[in-house]
Structure formats: structure tokens, C-alpha cells
Amino acid sequence: MSFSTALVWLDHDLRLVDNPALYHAAEQAQVVAPVFIWAPEEYGAYPPGGASKVWLHHSLLAFQAQLNKLNIQLTIRKGPSLELLLELAQSLNVEAVYWNSRYTPVLRARDEKIKEALQAAGIRVHTFAAHLLHEPPRLRTQSGGPYHVFTPFWKKFQRTVSVSAPLPQAPLSGVHRPSPQTSSLPVSELGLSALAQSGVDWASSIRKDWTIGEQAAQERLAQFIKTHAEAYALQRNYPHQEGTSRLSPHLHFGELSPRQVWHALSRSLPSDIAEPFLRQLAWREFSYHLLYHYPDTPHAPLKSKFAAFPWTSDPEPLHRWQKGKTGYPIIDAGMRQLWQTGWMHNRVRMLVASFLTKDLMIPWQEGAAWFWDTLVDANLANNTMGWQWAAGSGADAQPFFRIFNPVSQSERYDPEGAFIKRFVPALAALPASFIHAPWTAPPAVLKEAGVRLGNNYPHPMVTHEKARERALRAYRSLT
């Protein structure tokens, strides 16, 4: 008896539920062969960074275990995607290849070529929209161009995009579905784990902080809805609270689809309470909209006048920022949170990005590169938009002259210093009135708290007020 066989080419969609490529392949073909291909050189200048690779390692293991329970093999290969897809298609006698669309410029171009080559070889290709709530070229301004400002984009999105309901789990099990056995690499052979990358297990604290995989993603979503979603608008700016969902890496790796999140929130909360959270999901859509229309923005400023900005290029201050040794506690807490957990709270991302680009006048691309390597949710669309927003050079950006004061922001969003105390333990015994700016504390208070400035905690590396003036002068030189 012969079966029709479908190959499902998986990537950032390691889930069984609401996975259109997997679902439709399982509906159409008797035999489904899911394949993951590790081909970092195909990502152009942006292959996944260190923390992303660690996440991917565990995400693949979790997904493989889910498939194994259904007696399905996840074929894992390493090498040029087209070559491997053609080889698998031939050896399994595949009629069609299914995948969910990818949206970064380099992968879009690659996938288009692969589609043509497969079709030329007589293999059908089916692609699906799954990673976003809308297709990036779809929304246009009245004059037909892309949006540069979020609010009208969001209004148009609300008016015209109807987010379809998520699909159920792909119907993969059943007696008539023998899983084809193909040669496959163990996940450990891909070199993604921290040990494989550097010989040092630098990621143990990241692993401790997260549970990776589809089941964990669904549990996190359910938990967020039960405990924090209702107060999201009030709590989302306070980094010491569990006020946000922390779904970003799960969304990035496709352990959860944005449709699942959108519908779960919309179902569980009155629309006015759900709206602030749905709006954040729409920022994610906006970032893909921008990346689609402005594919050079991961490295070039959207506002071209910023190309002439007189950035500084000294590596030492960059290094201090990266290591969380600037002497500004909220900045250092954020950078240490990033290093320890692979994630940083959004409010603090905004503050550290402002500090790097404005107080230190270091190019935003340096900050984006560090985030790229250290964030578990590192994502070309969101990271680019976030950094260009902070530097003032992007769409709907924070105007350059609006420069965050790291002390008053800290007082406002971490009033008791709980976030600082967690990530900068050397300051833990300082009273709240001094923890945001330890250099203002009288010597006796510092002594009592065990803080030795310049010894166990640095002096501030710049004076914010002076740095602000310098940045504004540089900005004025542009106009």
C-alpha cells in the first residue's frame, strides 16, 4: 500500500497547536515527516545569538519529546536547507512540502528561492501565515504607503484585521501514520548548548529562570491570565513586579502562536481590560510591518539624518554598560538581569538603551548587537524597532531630546529599590532614599550598608546632566 507523504519544514514554530503547516499536512497526507534544519549561515548578518541558541536547544528537545509520544520522528539536519529538503523529498518520495512563512528579509528571499526550486523539481509547496496576526504588507496608509506611527496603524489593525481562531492540535496520531525513519542528528550535535558554544556552562542561570517548550508556554499564558492580566495596564511598567507576561521567547520560537495569545486574552477579559495587552501584541505586528518595508533598518537608521550622528567609539564604556558596571543602579540591575536570565523588563530595556545611546553616545547598533547575543527573545523586528525607538532614529521614535534620567526613572518605577536589590546585591542594604543614586548617600550611610564606592560598586561613569548636554549638542549639530 502506498501513502502520500508530506514534509513539514519547521523553524520558529515548534508547537503542535495552531501550527497550520503541521495541521494541513496532517489533514492532506497519510504520512507526515517534520524536519528541522539548522542552517545559521542562511540568516545573513543575523544568525541566532548565544542565548537564542540555548533556548532553541531546549525547545527542540521539548518538541522532539512531544512528537515521540505520538510516534513521530523529528528529523534534524544541519546544512544547506534546499539541498537537504530536496534530498529528503526524494528519499521519502514526498509530494508536497509545507511550512509557515518567515518574515525577516533574508529568510523571505531564501524561502522564495527554495519554493521555486522545489516546484521546479515537481514538488508542491504550501505556505501558511502563523507567526503574526496579519501579513506585514497588508496594512497601508490612505496614500498607500507604510505606517510610521503606531497609533494609526493600531486603529487600522483594529478596524480591518480579524484575527482568526487558532487551529486545534495537528491530527498526527493514528494507526495509518507510520512515521518515516530517516537519518537524523541528535540535538546535541547542533552545537547550540552553552557548553558546546564555549566550553563553559554560562547558561545555567538562564535555564533555571525558564521552562522551555510548548507545554510551558501554554502554562505561562494560563498563569498570566489567572494572576496578572487584569492588572497589566497598572503593573507593566514596574520591573520588580511580575506585571508582564514574559511570553516573548515563547512567541519568538513559536512555542505559542500570537493567535492563541490574542484569543485567550480576548476570551478571558472584558475588551477594555484586554486592550492594553493586545496593543502590545500589535507593537510586535508593527515592528514586522516596519522591517518588511524597511529591510535595511537592522543596521541603518530609518531617519537618514542620523547616519551623520557623531557617535563615540571607545570600547571601554561599552564594556562597562554590557557588564552592568555603569554606577547607575537601575541600569546595572537591568544589564545584570539580562546576563543572568536572558531577558529584561521592557521599561528597563528603554532605560538602558537610552543610557547607551544618549548618556554614552555609543551607536545603537552596538546595543542591538549585545541584546541580539544575550536575549532569549532576540528578534530582528522587535529589537530593531526598540533600538531605533530609543536612539530617536526610528519610526514613532522617542524624540532624541527626550532623554531618560536614570535616577528619577528608577525612583518612579522601582520606588523601594526591590529590582535593584535583586540584581545588584552590593546595594541591598542601602535605604530606598539612596539606592537610586548611591553617590549621594552620606559616608556613614554607605558604611552602614557595606557599600564601598569604587570598590564593591562603581562610581557613576558619567554625570547624567553633563552627558545629557553633550548628547543634545551632538543632536543639534545634525539639524
Ligand X SMILES: Cc1cc2nc3c(=O)[nH]c(=O)nc-3n(C[C@H](O)[C@H](O)[C@H](O)COP(=O)(O)OP(=O)(O)OC[C@H]3O[C@@H](n4cnc5c(N)ncnc54)[C@H](O)[C@@H]3O)c2cc1C
Binding interface with ligand X (CB under 6 A): 236, 244-248, 251-252, 280-281, 283-284, 287, 346, 349-350, 353, 371, 375, 377-379, 382-383, 386-387, 390
Closer to ligand X at the Cβ: 24 or 220?
Answer: 220
Q: For residues 351 and 229, what is the distance between their CA atoms, to the nearest angstrom?
A: 24
CA 419 to chain centre: 22
Closer to ligand X at the Cβ: 24 or 131?
Answer: 131
Strand order in the sheet with 75-78: 75-78, 31-38, 5-10, 96-100, 124-128
- Residue 283's CB is within 10 A of a number of other CB atoms, namely 17
Find the shortest distance in angstroms from Cβ 211 to ligand X: 15
Q: What angle do CA 317, 323, 327 make, to 5 degrees?
A: 65
Closer to ligand X at the Cβ: 254 or 386?
Answer: 386
| Position with the least CB separation from ligand X | 386
Closer to ligand X at the Cβ: 154 or 457?
Answer: 154
State the amino acid at position 208 in one-letter form.
K
Find the shortest distance in angstroms from Cβ 288 to ligand X: 9
Residue pair 297/309 in contact by the 8 Å Cβ criterion = no
Residue pair 237/347 in contact by the 8 Å Cβ criterion = yes
State the amino acid at position 225 in one-letter form.
I
Find the shortest distance in angstroms from Cβ 382 to ligand X: 3
Q: For residues 291 and 309, what is the distance between their CA atoms, to the nearest angstrom?
A: 22
Closer to ligand X at the Cβ: 24 or 252?
Answer: 252
State the amino acid at position 186 in one-letter form.
P
Q: What angle do CA 61, 63, 69 make, to 5 degrees?
A: 105
Closer to ligand X at the Cβ: 248 or 257?
Answer: 248
Residues 6+ away with beta carbon under 8 Å from 266: 274, 278
Closer to ligand X at the Cβ: 9 or 150?
Answer: 150
Find the shortest distance in angstroms from Cβ 281 to ligand X: 5
Find the shortest distance in angstroms from Cβ 373 to ligand X: 11
Find the shortest distance in angstroms from Cβ 251 to ligand X: 5
Find the shortest distance in angstroms from Cβ 139 to ligand X: 16
